[in-house]
Amino acid sequence: MTRHRTPNYGFIIDNRRCIGCHACTVACKTEHGDPIGINKTWVQYIEKGTWPEVTRAFHVMRCNHCANAPCVEICPTASLETRADGIVDFDPGRCIGCKACMQACPYDAITLNPDSGTATKCNYCAHRVDVGREPACVVVCPTEAIITGDLDDPQSRIARLMATEQTMVRRPEKGTEPKLAYIEGHRDAPRTARRATGRAHPLGGTNDRRGRPGGRPRRRARLREARRLGRGALAWGDERRAGRRQWRGARALERHRQPRTDLPLRPGAHL
């Protein structure tokens, strides 16, 4: 019952497990009684590639609970606050509705609640954490794709995953030090997806409709591809400036990293 140490909470979203079912969104909304139009967590579907070399990526988006949170810094009344346990919490009772936090967040994770005129965002279900329970989205997730816990507790599942899996964060160049890390986030990032499989970028026009090299995709197909890439393209960050793809915690734990041998490599065929 006694705690010797303050935890440092974070999220991992494991894209090897996410099936895009939206359970997290609905569990969040019912837990918080949020109105239509407010989504503290949401799932984005992005289709990439050309048939049959096509896949659909699911991006679960939400507050990144940054260690260096710009929303906390800009909030004039401290209604946003980084708690000692790392949760970036929000107190609607202090909010004046200036919307500055919405401008400060590089992840578009903050919205305005039309009922109260105050900002709102994922607060890691702090009210549940305070009685020792995981956030609603974690409990509901059918495939356990959302992992929570104490990043500083080496025994926790999240710390073990951080130590053993390649993770990435969104927009690392912003220096916000997000504590929401993605496993296989890069596979789904539009800009890197093709590169990861060693294929030419669809916009490069070097592969034909079936993904065979040599042809040029049709003009409309290219435009559609461009539009699709446009959607969500900023969500993951600016590669040219991204100094580090990984959260620093993961790097600190890197010496414990064990190469996984039990998993066959996923074939490139489906990117």
Partner 1 sequence: MRTYDIAQRHAGSWGWKVSGYLFTKSIAAGAFLIPALLSLFDEAAPVERLFRSGVPLALAFLALTGVLLVADLKRPERFLWVLLRPQWKSWLVRGAYIITAYGALLGGWFTFGGTPGGFFSTLGGILAAATAAYSGWLFGQAKGRDLWQSPLVPVHLLCQALVAGSAALLLCAPFELADLANVLAVALALDALLILAEMHGRHASEAAARAQKLMISGQRRWWLYCGSLAIGHFLAIVLVLTGEGPTRAVAACFALIGVLIYEHLWVDAPQRLPLA
Partner 2 sequence: MPRHLSKIEKLAASLGLVPKARDLPVPERLGDGRLSHYPPFEKWENWEELDARRLPHRYSLIPTTCFNCEAGCGLLAYVDRDSGEIEKIEGNPLHPGSRGRNCAKGPATLNQLRDPERILTPMKRVGPRGTGKFEPCGWDEALEAIANRIRCAFDEGRGEEVMYHVGRPGHEAFMERLLSAWGIDGHNSHTTVCSASARCGYQLAWGYDRPSPDYENAQLILLISSHLEAGHYFNPHAQRIIDAKNRGARIVVLDPRLSNTASRADLWLSTRPGTEAAVLLATIRVLLLAGAVDRTFVENWVDWRGYLQSVHCEASPDLDTFLRLLAEDLAEYTPEYAAQLAGISPDQVRQLAREIERAGPRVAAHVWRAAASGNEGGWQVARAMCLLTALVGAVGAPGGTSPSAWNKFKPEFWTKTEGPKNWNELIWPKEYPLSFYEMSHILPHLVLDGRGKIDVYFTRVINPVWTFPDGFTWMEMLRDESRVGLYVALTPTWNETAYFADFVLPMGHSAERHDIQSQETHAGRWVSFRQPVKRARAALAGEEATDTRSFNPGEVWEEDEFWIDLTWRIDPDGKRGIRRHYESPYRPGKKVTVDEYYRWIFENGVPGLPEKAKEAGLEPLEYMRRVGAFELERGKYRLHEQKVEIPEGSRVRVEAAGGLVTLDGKVVGVAVDGAIRHGFPTPSRKIEVVSKTLAEWGFPGEALPRYSPSHVGPEVIDPEKGIYTLVPTFRLPTMIHSRSGNAKHLNEISHANPVWMHPDDADRHSLADGDLLKVETSIGHSINRVRVTDGVRPGVVACSHHMGRWRLEGGIGSQWSSATVRIEPIEGGRMRLRIIEPSGPFDSADPDTRRGWWKESGVHQNLTFPPQSDPISGMHCWHQLVRVSPAGPGDQYGDVVVDMEKSREVHRAWLAKARPPAGDLRRPEWLPRPLRPQPEAYRIDQQRAPDSP
C-beta closer to partner 1: residue 108 or 130: 108
- From the list 214, 243, 259, 264, which residue makes contact with partner 2 (rule: CB under 8 A)? 264
CB of 18 to partner 2, least distance (A): 9
Q: How far, in Å, CA of 252 to CA of 59, rounded?
A: 26
| Binding range to partner 2, per CB under 8 A, among 62-70, 105-113, 140-148, 229-237 | 140-148
Number of residues that bind partner 2 (CB under 8 A): 76
Phi, psi of 26 (to 5 degrees): -70, -40
User: From CA 107, how far away is CA 59, in angstroms rounded?
Assistant: 12
Distance CA 16, CA 182 (A): 10
- Residues within window 18-47 making contact with partner 1, judged by CB under 8 A: 20, 22, 25, 39, 42-45
> In the bound complex, what is the minimum distance in angstroms from residue 210's beta carbon to partner 2?
10
What's the CA dihedral at 251, 256, 261, 264 to 10 degrees? -20
Q: How far apart are CA 136 and CA 35, in angstroms?
A: 17
**Least gap, CB of 150 to partner 1 (angstroms):** 26
Tell me: does residue 154 bind partner 2 (CB under 8 A). Answer: no
Q: Which of residues 119-158 bind partner 1 (CB under 8 A)?
A: none
* 157-216 positions binding partner 2, by CB under 8 A: 209
- Piece in contact with partner 2 (CB under 8 A), picked from 22-30, 104-112, 173-181, 230-238: 22-30
CA distance linking residue 208 with residue 145, whole number of Å:
35
B/e letters for 131-153, b = 16+ CB within 10 Å, e = fewer, are: eeebbbbbbbbeeebbbbbbbbe
Binding mask 67-96 vs partner 1 (x if CB under 8 A, - otherwise)?
---x--xxxxxx---------------xxx
Residues 94-123 that bind partner 1 (CB under 8 A): 94-100, 102-112, 117-118
Q: What's the closest the beta carbon of residue 24 comes to partner 1, in angstroms?
A: 11
Using a 10 angstrom Cβ sphere, with 0-12 exposed, 13-18 middle and 19 or more buried, the burial of residue 173 is: middle
Are 256 and 186 in contact by the 8 Å Cβ rule? The answer is no
Q: How far is the CB of 103 from partner 1 (least distance, A)?
A: 4
Q: Are strands 180-183 and 167-168 parallel, antiparallel or unpaired?
A: antiparallel
Residue with Cβ nearer partner 2 (91 or 173):
91
Query: Torsions phi, psi of 85, nearest 5?
Result: -90, 15
Q: Could you say which of partner 2, partner 1, none residue 17 binds, taking C-beta under 5 to 8 angstroms by partner kind?
A: partner 2
- Give the type of residue at 196: A
Applying CB under 8 A, the span of 99-107, 123-131, 160-168, 245-253 interacting with partner 2 comes to 123-131
4: DSSP letter: S
Q: Which residues form the interface with partner 1 (CB under 8 A)? A: 20, 22, 25, 39, 42-45, 59, 61, 70, 73-78, 94-100, 102-112, 117-118, 173-174, 176, 231-232, 234-235, 238, 240-241
